[in-house]
Chain A
Amino acid sequence: MAGVLIYSANQGLALELISAARKIEDSVVAVSLNDDSLAQALAGAGAKTLKISNPNLVVGDTGAVAAAIKQVLDKENIDTVLLSSDRRGKELAGRLAQAIGAGCLTDVTAINVDGSKIECQRNALGGATIAVQYIEGPKVIAIRPRSYEAAGAGNGSIEELAVEIKAAGIKVLDFKPKAGDSVNIEAAEILVAVGQGLSDEGKLADVQALASKLGGEVACSKPVATDKKWLSEERIIGLSGKKCKPQLAILLGISGQVQFTVGIRDARVIAAVNTDENAAINYMADYIMQADLHDVIKELNEKL
């Protein structure tokens, strides 16, 4: 194997990738695209950094980004790439893999090197199982955010590199930042999570009050954030949200489909409140209460 290359447009995630890459090889090559501060950070964390500046290269043009990285891989003779499994990284993963004739695994939560194999752990069957897989041949592996610590300070280098990119058929017209929600449900010791059993947005205040009384954070199932838009996507537990391991999770009105439970199964204690006696979530719970969640929240807020 000839080296490992890492790339993420997100600086924090790129630094995590350096740590992941060091499990494979000590010397890590990193790429920055039209981003000097990223190049500085990568070199500052010990990576041999190839800095690309090209006006035709737009991060929103996945094809152009893949073409640029392919040229770096060819020049450096590298056939293993680690990307971040955020949305940009996942979108890029398949395209880059196709461009270099590689196999591709995304949403990888851990890698383990066994001889020449890089075994990757990832959720399968919607999260019902955890698969361990490796790629034979060139590889593109996208690592789920926060699976590795950011790399500490090191002595890297920066080299400029020229690539050829055709003018893009893609134009970024605008970027509208999402209203920030700085909550970190992955770090919370106690989570009070609500699902579609919650009757209306107005009831969220009681949920927040309960979480505050317990010293925890409010979290939710995916539809509460993406369909109803009652809470930010930062608070989603599950396959396409966060993987949490609190001491206590109180789950209110959540049915317990695998894409949700995969994000909470590492909790130490789980209590589930659901009107349905046979809800799937009950198999995942230590304490099961068949009741209307609104009554339960009210009573808990009174008693705590």
Chain B
Amino acid sequence: MNIVVAMKQIPDLQQIRIRNRKPVLDGVPSALGIIDKNALEAAVLIKENQGGKVIVLSAGNEEVEETVKEALAAGADEAFLVLDDDLEGADGSTKGLVLAEAIKKIEDVGLILFGEGSGDNYSGQVGSRVAELLGLPQVGYASSIEINDSSAVITRSLEDGDEIIEVSLPVVVSVQGDINEPRIPSVTQILKAGRKPKEVLELEDLEIDLTGLPEIVTVSNLAPETDRKQVKVASVEELLQALKTEGVI
């Protein structure tokens, strides 16, 4: 059984600067989504236990080929990439179609893993879209996954409790950020990552029609105005005095 882990390339959020309330994305390096790394770790742990291959799947611009090396170093066996500049910033309905179509080309897939939300948009819809497109059952917000032959027992962690689900494979699962602690690859693993097998497709290699999809139109995208005093205080007394003057204590 093979495990597909869908990972999204996002801008490194710590490096985004705000100028005139607008985010400046030029020159910001790319990274893989943080929770996507938990999904990868979950896949690698299952593979170490039961065999099979972990295939990292990503759709985006050309840079993805470089970004995805981190996943290959951290335990993925192969990469399956759909690279096209048109995919940069594509919304959920496009990404869902592309990923679902790519998964159809991968054989013996028993488990398809996502993070509960991407690091940048945190919209959490692509995994659900892929499940619908492939007609598969899904479990979101997983805090544990246990595979037994042709089924899985998965804990869906909800706000008010844990729902324990038994589901037949293949299944689409999105994991929570606290499901595990992703491993840090060693230097040798990083060096070897570049030599792992990679299948690279372009959009036109997939038989999909991206016209007529619903569109998300962005009217504005601005940082909220923040106007903080940023006064340094040297002692607890000074802090208390300041808070008293503000009238909050």
Which residues of A are in contact with B by a Cβ distance under 8 Å? 60-63, 66, 86-88, 90-95, 97-99, 101-107, 119, 123-126, 128-139, 168-178, 190, 214, 222, 226-227, 233, 239-240, 247-248, 257-258, 265, 268-271, 282-290, 296, 299-300, 303-304
For the complex formed, measure the closest distance between the CB of B38 and the CB atoms of chain A, giving whole angstroms.
Answer: 11
> Do A123 and B122 form a contact, CB below 8 Å, given A98-B132, A288-B231, A288-B233?
yes
Q: Are A214 and B249 in contact (CB under 8 A)?
A: yes
Query: For B129, what are the chain A residues with a Cβ–Cβ distance below 8 Å?
Result: 94-95, 97-98, 104
Q: Which listed residue (B124, B139, B237) contacts A90, Cβ 8 A?
A: B124
Query: For A282, what are the chain B residues with a Cβ–Cβ distance below 8 Å?
Result: 230
Chain A, Cβ-Cβ closest to B162:
A176
Q: Which listed residue (B124, B166, B177) contacts A94, Cβ 8 A?
A: B124
Complex CA–CA separation, A132 to B218 (angstroms): 6
Query: For A170, what are the chain B residues with a Cβ–Cβ distance below 8 Å?
Result: 137, 139, 165-167
Q: Which listed residue (B23, B133, B157, B216) contacts A103, Cβ 8 A?
A: B216
Query: For B229, what are the chain A residues with a Cβ–Cβ distance below 8 Å?
Result: 286-287
21 A-B residue pairs with CB within 8 Å? A63-B138, A94-B124, A94-B128, A95-B132, A97-B92, A103-B216, A125-B11, A126-B13, A129-B224, A172-B165, A226-B176, A240-B122, A257-B13, A271-B239, A284-B226, A287-B229, A287-B239, A288-B233, A289-B233, A296-B239, A300-B236
Kindly list 6 other residue pairs between chains A and B, CB separation below 8 angstroms, not including A95-B138, A287-B243.
A125-B221, A170-B166, A172-B164, A176-B161, A239-B122, A285-B230
Query: Which of B120, B132, B135, B242 has the most chain A CB atoms closer than 10 A to its own CB?
Result: B132
Q: Are B176 and A133 in contact (CB under 8 A)?
A: no
Query: For A214, what are the chain B residues with a Cβ–Cβ distance below 8 Å?
Result: 249
Complex CA–CA separation, A175 to B162 (angstroms): 6
Q: Which listed residue (A94, A135, A258, A270) contacts B215, Cβ 8 A?
A: A135
Q: Are B230 and A62 in contact (CB under 8 A)?
A: no
Q: Are B123 and A104 in contact (CB under 8 A)?
A: yes
Complex CA–CA separation, A176 to B164 (angstroms): 8
For the complex formed, measure the closest distance between the CB of A227 and the CB atoms of chain B, giving whole angstroms.
Answer: 6
Q: Are A175 and B163 in contact (CB under 8 A)?
A: yes
Complex CA–CA separation, A169 to B137 (angstroms): 7
Q: Say if the beta carbon of B240 comes within 8 Å of chain A.
A: yes
Q: Are B128 and A125 in contact (CB under 8 A)?
A: no
Q: Say if the beta carbon of B18 comes within 8 Å of chain A.
A: yes
- Over the window 3-25 of chain B, the binary record of Cβ atoms lying under 8 Å from chain A Cβ atoms (1 yes, 0 no) is 00000000101101010000100
Q: Which listed residue (A61, A98, A102, A129) contacts B23, Cβ 8 A?
A: A129
Q: Are A97 and B125 in contact (CB under 8 A)?
A: yes
For the complex formed, measure the closest distance between the CB of A250 and the CB atoms of chain B, giving whole angstroms.
Answer: 8
Query: For A66, what are the chain B residues with a Cβ–Cβ distance below 8 Å?
Result: 132
Complex CA–CA separation, A184 to B107 (angstroms): 48
Complex CA–CA separation, A258 to B217 (angstroms): 24
For the complex formed, measure the closest distance between the CB of B206 and the CB atoms of chain A, giving whole angstroms.
Answer: 17
Complex CA–CA separation, A290 to B232 (angstroms): 8
Q: Are A87 and B141 in contact (CB under 8 A)?
A: yes
Q: Are B92 and A285 in contact (CB under 8 A)?
A: no
Q: Are B231 and A287 in contact (CB under 8 A)?
A: yes
